[in-house]
């Protein structure tokens, strides 16, 4: 029994350490952010390729220098190009032709559910930028002109195209196009460069994402979620590129490749440049002024005299829907991070999604998953509950042994072990159901934490979001009550200290569940109810029917 107490205290202590560490990281002060301009108006320097192009007709440029002269209109006075589709509301800044605002109409803001979520925004200085590298070539700071400042995807149309154009003093013409598709979060970003001269131009086109280092608002989880960069190539697979590593210059992703993608990841959402495979490219990450970072891809471009060269790189900016991401690019679905228990979490999500397709409600799917897990662990649970029922029967004899050998602990432990052996009781049997379920519990937590499909998914009544804590704390209270009932069904430990610990455990764990997602509490509550029914039935079978009271 001392070993059982040790295991329970170890589980409880580890849980407290885990939650304290998560709380510390969650409430750590945010880094000080310096003032800077908006992404669309020159907040990032033009990248420099590791191998400069052998440019003819355009000299090598100084990184960060303005490539095309011209007075820029202040951002507050410029009229952005507005695009509306069935999935997004976008804004493109004519200065640089950058995508500076992207509103997802099917996702609600975590702070204000009456508003749509805005992924790209000046608030986070989050934008998609593109341009050419070279003196006199248009970049993300160059003023572009546009004929129409409002575009709407009409009924019967599959796409809407926005065209912006810029001319250089040397007579070069650059055209930037954004193609938005119906029912798709992929935006094809194309750049064309027309060379009317007699000399060829060897340059590079770049596509970059710019964002500050702050986590998105409304993250109510105890464990902070990842906000940072990610790179994937076939050779090195999926790699996170944390902002802190960029600060320190400690990044180890492949700089050159002919496949893969680069992007920015935040809770539930991702933006990524997806160049076509078998095309050479160079990936880069940089720390800019203030708390701002850029991640992007550079592609070589050759423009023959009197001709036009074009390069297009798709941009995905939307929710982390695993099946759709896997179809877009190899490894893109890996941005859904289930932590070190992915081997358990991934199958759990697959079963959850299958149950949801049948039941139509994620809460009911969680209940169905709980029943399936309970059925899978039934033999182990039954054996444990039988051991606990036998333990309850011999508790009076254990109390007598403790009284008999109160002054000799060695003989007391020896007598207890002999009693366990005689009655064929495993003193650790009651701990097995708890220990076995801990990995499943943690894996399900990560499923609720990382799966956008469960984001703001309602159950019934007052529970509007299974990924958020119960606003009325009804489920945690019921869960605590179920743990108390379970404690009453268990045998009373002969050690008074251990008995007090077992009585405190339901309240200690219950308080932690007040801060867990409602879906996770629902899982544990249903599991407890099933465990109580199973334990009561097994105990009743072992103890047998109670003798009838003699009539007077």
Read out DSSP for 148-184?
A: -SEEE--TT-SEEEEEEEEE-TTS-EEEEEEEEETT-
Confidence check: pLDDT of 522 > 70: yes
The sign one gets for the Cα dihedral 208, 210, 216, 221 is positive
> pLDDT tens across 13-24, in order?
545 544 444 444
CA distances from 45 to 37, 160, 237, 285, 445 (A): 12, 30, 28, 12, 40
The β-bridge partners of 265 are 228, 270
DSSP 143: B
Q: Do the beta carbons of residue 242 and residue 163 sit within 8 Å?
A: no
H or E stretch covering 202: strand 201-212
Mean pLDDT calculated for residue range 224-245: 92
How many Cα neighbours within 13 Å face the side chain of 327?
Answer: 7
Confidence check: pLDDT of 486 > 90: no
Which of 47, 209, 57 is CA-nearest to residue 124?
A: 209
Q: Which residue has the higher pLDDT, 218 or 464?
A: 464
CA–CA dist 189, 128 (Å, integer): 10
Among 284-293, 348-357, 478-487, the least confident range: 478-487
Q: Which residue has the higher pLDDT, 479 or 262?
A: 262
Q: Do the beta carbons of residue 204 and residue 53 sit within 8 Å?
A: yes
Please give the angle made by the CA atoms of 254, 258 and 260, to the nearest 5 degrees.
Answer: 65
Mean pLDDT calculated for residue range 304-325: 95
CA–CA dist 236, 255 (Å, integer): 11
CA distances from 380 to 20, 40, 49, 435 (A): 32, 60, 60, 11
Confidence check: pLDDT of 512 > 90: no
Q: Do the beta carbons of residue 324 and residue 106 sit within 8 Å?
A: no
Among 42-46, 393-397, 413-417, 503-507, the least confident range: 42-46
Mean pLDDT calculated for residue range 242-268: 92
Going by pLDDT thresholds of 50, 70 and 90, the confidence category of residue 388 is: low
CA–CA dist 457, 127 (Å, integer): 28
Q: Residue 456, class by beta-carbon neighbours within 10 Å (0-12 exposed, 13-18 middle, 19+ buried)? A: middle
Which of 504, 416, 433 is CA-nearest to residue 2?
A: 416
> pLDDT tens across 69-92, in order?
333 444 545 789 999 999 999 999
Which of 125, 133, 143, 120 is CA-nearest to residue 284?
A: 133
* pTM reported for the whole predicted model: 0.80
List phi, psi (to 5°) of 524: -70, -35
Ranges of each domain in the chain: 2-22+345-543, 31-67+78-337
The β-bridge partners of 309 are 193
CATH number of 31-67+78-337: 2.70.98.90
In the numeric block, which tokens belong to residue 400? 């007598």
How large is the angle between the packed helices 342-359 and 432-450, nearest 10 degrees?
Answer: 70
Going by pLDDT thresholds of 50, 70 and 90, the confidence category of residue 454 is: confident
């Amino acid at each position: 029994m001392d070993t059982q107490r040790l295991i329970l205290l170890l589980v409880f202590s580890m849980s407290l350490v885990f939650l304290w560490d998560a709380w510390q990281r969650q409430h750590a002060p945010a880094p000080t952010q310096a003032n800077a301009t908006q992404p669309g108006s020159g907040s990032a320097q033009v990248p420099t390729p590791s191998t400069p192009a052998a440019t003819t007709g355009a000299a090598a440029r100084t990184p960060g220098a303005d490539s095309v002269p011209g007075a820029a209109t202040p951002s507050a006075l410029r009229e952005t190009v507005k695009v509306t589709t069935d999935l997004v509301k976008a804004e493109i800044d004519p200065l640089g032709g950058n995508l500076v605002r992207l509103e997802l109409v099917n996702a609600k803001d975590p702070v204000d559910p009456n508003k749509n979520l805005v992924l790209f925004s000046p608030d986070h200085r989050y934008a998609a930028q593109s341009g050419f590298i070279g003196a006199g070539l248009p970049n993300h700071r160059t003023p572009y002109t546009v004929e129409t400042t409002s575009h709407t995807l009409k009924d019967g149309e599959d796409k809407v195209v926005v065209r912006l154009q810029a001319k250089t003093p040397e007579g070069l013409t650059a055209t930037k196009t954004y193609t938005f598709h119906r029912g798709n979060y992929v935006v094809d970003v194309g750049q064309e460069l027309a060379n009317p001269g007699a000399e060829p131009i060897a340059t590079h086109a770049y596509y970059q994402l710019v964002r500050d280092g702050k986590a998105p608002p409304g993250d109510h989880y105890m464990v902070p979620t990842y906000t940072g960069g990610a790179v994937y190539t076939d050779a090195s697979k999926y790699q996170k590129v944390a902002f802190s590593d960029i600060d320190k210059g400690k990044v180890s992703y492949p700089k050159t490749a002919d496949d893969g993608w680069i992007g920015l990841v935040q809770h539930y959402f991702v933006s990524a440049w997806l160049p076509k495979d078998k095309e050479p490219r160079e990936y880069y990450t940089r720390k800019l002024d203030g708390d701002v970072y850029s991640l992007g891809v550079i592609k070589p471009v050759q423009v023959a005299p009197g001709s036009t060269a074009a390069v297009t790189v798709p941009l995905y900016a939307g929710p982390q829907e695993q099946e759709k991401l896997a179809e877009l690019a190899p490894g893109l679905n890996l941005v859904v991070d289930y932590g070190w228990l992915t081997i358990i979490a991934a199958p759990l999500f697959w079963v959850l999604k299958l149950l949801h397709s049948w039941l139509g409600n994620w809460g009911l799917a969680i209940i169905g998953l709980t029943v399936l897990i309970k059925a899978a662990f039934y033999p182990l649970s039954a054996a444990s509950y039988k051991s606990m029922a036998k333990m309850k029967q011999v508790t009076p004899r254990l109390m007598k042994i403790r009284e008999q050998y109160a002054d000799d602990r060695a003989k007391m432990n020896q007598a207890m072990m002999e009693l366990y052996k005689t009655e064929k009781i495993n003193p650790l049997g009651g701990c097995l159901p708890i220990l076995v379920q801990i990995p499943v519990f943690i894996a399900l937590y990560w499923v609720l934490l990382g799966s956008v499909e469960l984001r703001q998914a309602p159950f019934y009544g007052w529970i509007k979001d299974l990924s958020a804590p119960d606003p009325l704390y009804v489920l945690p209270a019921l869960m605590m009550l179920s743990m108390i009932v379970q404690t009453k069904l268990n045998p009373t430990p002969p050690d008074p200290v251990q008995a007090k610990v077992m009585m405190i455990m339901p309240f200690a764990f219950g308080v932690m569940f007040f801060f867990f997602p409602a879906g996770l509490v629902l899982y544990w509550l249903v599991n407890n109810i099933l465990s109580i029914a199973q334990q009561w039935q097994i105990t009743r079978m072992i103890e047998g029917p109670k003798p009838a009271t003699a009539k007077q």
